[in-house]
Amino acid sequence: MQSSPLSTQPKYLLQGGIHRRTESAILEGTKKLISQFGISNISMIEIADASEVSRATLYNHYRDKSAVLNALVSAEVERLVALADRAGTPADALEVLSQEISQDTALASMRLHDPATLIAVMSHAENPLYLVLAKCIYGATKSEAGTGLAMRWLLGQVMQPITAKQSREQAELLVDRTLF
């Protein structure tokens, strides 16, 4: 009797992959819902449906909507940091971050449906994720003052998005005149 390739791998490796794919589906489904309806207008039932998982599975991964949202924010910050890390120059890194923030459909929906929530999230500089993003920007700018300025510039775009052209021009201006 031949064993399948899957049966030769330890069971926990397969479970870990399934767990990550399920969490990814939940976060993608949540972001789609936020993009359409905002945060305050969605429920755990709708998140389960949009993610194509059962309610039990959703609750096995996240205890409530707040936990799902925290995981989504963490995943988004990690994604942004990875994009910035792959950018070539400091101006490229800031431009990428600017465009991602300005073009994000979930943020656009939150500006419309949940402005108070968005402001509350943005005003927590002691949040560990804020520090992760600040460290990423510091890696690009190598300047504490420049990092603070760039963070404020990017946070401003959460509420007032800018165009791709403005992203490039302003990123270059920040680097050329302020950061070095």
> Which whole-number Å values give the CA distances from 1 to 4, 44, 142, 146, in the listed order?
10, 45, 60, 64
pLDDT by residue (tens digit) across 136-162? 888 877 888 888 899 999 989 999 999
Domain that holds residue 113: 5-179
pTM above 0.85, yes or no: no
Q: What pLDDT, on the 0 to 100 scale, is given for residue 1?
A: 47
DSSP letter at 89 equals S
Give 37: exposed, middle or buried? Use CB within 10 Å, 0-12, 13-18, 19+. middle
Dihedral sign of CA atoms 93, 173, 153, 36 in order: negative
Number of domains in the chain: 1
Determine how many CB atoms are found less than 10 A away from the CB of residue 64: 10
Q: What's 54's domain CATH number?
A: 1.10.357.10
pLDDT less than 50: residues of the chain: 1
